[in-house]
Structure 1
Amino acid sequence: MAKPQLLLLTLFCVFLLLPSSAFGDCTCDTENEEHDKTQALKYKLAAIASILVGGVTGVCIPVLGKTIPALRPEKDVFFFIKAFAAGVILSTGFIHVLPDAFENLTSPCLSDRPWQDFPFTGFVAMVSAIGTLMVDAFATSYYRKSHSNQAAQNVVGDVEMGGEHEGHLHFNTRATPSFVDNSASSDLIRHRVISQVLELGIVVHSVIIGISLGATESPKTIRPLVAALTFHQFFEGMGLGGCIAQAKFQNRAVVVMATFFSLTTPVGIAIGIGISNVYNENSPNALIFEGIFNAASAGILIYMAQVDLLAVDYMNPRVQSNAKLQIGVNVSLLLGAGLMSLLAKWA
């Protein structure tokens, strides 16, 4: 379960330490911003607390289906919550993350070659989406093979147990359920892979957002971001929480994934505060670093929202056979995408 998170941390450290291949002579310092470190720090600390609460609340709402029957994955309400959250994630990729990546990688602060000669943002997003598809497919294949091997071993064990007791009758009554439950197990594997890959994509841009906010010294810039990013984290948490609920992880794994998600943006803000004296968000290094990670994150989020969240539920026989449920899912999707798009006015 922890492999995607470890991969994320490794990639983050590698990209943070590697020097960029191209630099511009311009540093594009923003001298006209009003800097007040003391006031900015107060807003940053408020942002850490507010975003943490928003993230924890959002990710826990779908997970509470275990104790609140109305929120369980087999209920219609769950389809509405998941569609709403998918709209949020889709809007995050298209409206929030991808435009930032374009702005970063087409900045006049970067040298003309290669950054102005090739659409790196679209290229990185495309490669990221393709890479996500490959990881999605390979991970699902790997877990299915592992499950099949384990099921085969169980059948062999059942045969041996049957021989020791009452002939083949005992084997038949024990072995049949493993084949009957194969489809359900396959769906469960898919949900587990989806939840981990989605968390990876969310975490990438959450860390970048946090660092950028933490490194900013302008209270006017930070103030409107506190509420906007809190709602942002809340809605994304709902999407991830829905996937975690469907994956049916053990309680320990659920707590680890929810905690990891909830802490990424606050930790990013803390990192930004620590490096604020040396970090310049308009330097070539920062622009390239943020642009590449934002583009990669956008590709992951757009793929996950369209393929693993919306397509699966929209093609679900239960949704296909219920006109009211179809309408409700569509309204929830548009509402989630619309509200998240509206937040782009402030964040």
Structure 2
Amino acid sequence: MDPLALPPHSVIVDCDDGNGYDKSKESLRISSIFVIWFGSTAGALIPIYFFRIKKADLSSWLLSSMKYFGSGVIIATAFIHLLGPATEALSSPCLKGRITEYSWAEGIVLMSIFVMFFIELLAHRYDVFGNHNRASGPDNWKKETPNLPHSNGGRESNDTGSSSNSADCNNITRNPDTNPHGFNTVPGNSQNRNDNKQSSQSNDNGYFSAQLTSIFILEFGIIFHSIFIGLTLAVTGNDEFNILYTVLVFHQTFEGLGLGSRLACIEWPKGKEWLSWAFGIAFGFATPIAIVIGILVHNSFEPGSQRAMIVNGIFDSISAGILIYTGLVELMANDFIFNKEMIKAEPRKVIYACLNMSFGAGIMALLGKWA
């Protein structure tokens, strides 16, 4: 249609397939596989490494900085890099049918947040009440006074080599007369202490299962986002490729820091520490594998097609809901509001943590201008 023949104030919508693959930059596309893999993997594994080394002063300071920076990265990723593109994809004028009759991006985000809440609720109830070796009636509850909730439930570190760093992950002060869930027991009550000792292994297993569920969900949200941006980079046109390539290197590195700092803070049981490295390595491979797939199927992959936009929009919405819940509840609330150490901390420590988190969010929000 001739644009000059359109009525005034008309908007021309370009609904092309979005595939701008050009072999002239094939070498750069291939190099992006290795560069982004290195940045992603390094970002995810560096926090874990600093947590494991014995130089407590250095590693504690760095891990604390990376943890709060990573929190900001995850929160900004949820809103800027996931919710925004999901809304754009699922409300695109190029879509047709019933999907255009409702704000599906926001609806899916809402459902994801509630699902996350229900999973978290069940995990915590199992952690506290799932032990059959301990009485759970009202009479027994009266003997226990709950402490303030915190991010790891008051649990002590199993790894003595990393105990100094554990304080910087969780900032927890424990009462010696507390059970593994942070409930005060009656001083001098040997029966309660014996019950706690007998049930500690069961409690630890339940708590670790809850932690593992949370980190699985967090990694699910981040990895699916990484897969789609890898596919997009693989078929991006030459005019936009250089900018997108550069931005995604930083984007994935910062996301890796956000994930890695949380993996480092998990209280892994003895013999399970390797899981933190495995999760970090898995994240590092997500985008490179997606780039390889995108290059191999570039002739048939159309990121601008209706099917691709719907799939991308749905998964971005799910990931956004997961990261919004994780960022606001698991990270911000647990690190600042329900954290006994942070509540009693000096103002400069709180300000430093807030500035670190704001800096991470600001950097990722800025990268959202290009990717």
TM-score normalised by structure 2 residue count: 0.72
CA offsets 1:9-58 (integer angstroms, 9 cap, x no match): xxxxxxxxxxxxxxxxx992269x9752231x222212211111111111
Q: Give the residue type in structure 1 aligned to 2:257.
A: M
CA offsets 1:148-192 (integer angstroms, 9 cap, x no match): 35899xxxxxxxxxxxxxxxxx99997654578999888766544
| 1:27–1:282 contact (8 Å) kept in structure 2 | no
Q: Which residue of 2 aligns with 1:63?
A: 48
Q: Which residue of 2 aligns with 1:204?
A: 224
Structure 1 distance, partners of 2:133, 2:295, is 48
- 1:205 deviates by 0.8
Q: How many residues align?
A: 299
Aligned to 2:327, what secondary structure does the other structure show? helix
| 1:48–1:266 contact (8 Å) kept in structure 2 | yes
**Structure 1: runs of 5+ lacking an equivalent:** 1-25, 153-169
- Distance change (3 Å), C-alpha of 1:50 and 1:140: farther
Aligned to 1:42, what secondary structure does the other structure show? helix
1:297 matches 2:319: yes
Q: Which residue of 1 aligns with 2:251?
A: 232
1:344 matches 2:328: no
Structure 1 distance, partners of 2:104, 2:231, is 22
Structure 2 distance, partners of 1:35, 1:77, is 41
| 1:70–1:77 contact (8 Å) kept in structure 2 | no
Structure 2 distance, partners of 1:70, 1:193, is 29
Q: Which residue of 2 aligns with 1:219?
A: 238
Structure 2 distance, partners of 1:38, 1:82, is 41
- 1:86 deviates by 0.9
Which of residues 177, 195, 207 is equivalent to 2:215? 195
1:88 matches 2:73: yes
TM-score normalised by structure 1 residue count: 0.76
1:123 matches 2:107: yes
CA offsets 1:254-283 (integer angstroms, 9 cap, x no match): 232111111111111112112211111111
1:38 matches 2:60: no
| 2:110–2:321 contact (8 Å) kept in structure 1 | yes
**Greater percentage in helix:** 1
CA offsets 1:269-301 (integer angstroms, 9 cap, x no match): 112112211111111111111111111111111
Aligned to 1:345, what secondary structure does the other structure show? coil
- 1:131 deviates by 1.4
Structure 2 distance, partners of 1:51, 1:173, is 51
Sequence identity percentage: 30
Let me know the Cα RMSD of the aligned residues.
Answer: 3.1
**Structure 2: runs of 5+ lacking an equivalent:** 1-12, 136-189
Q: Give the residue type in structure 1 aligned to 2:288.
A: P
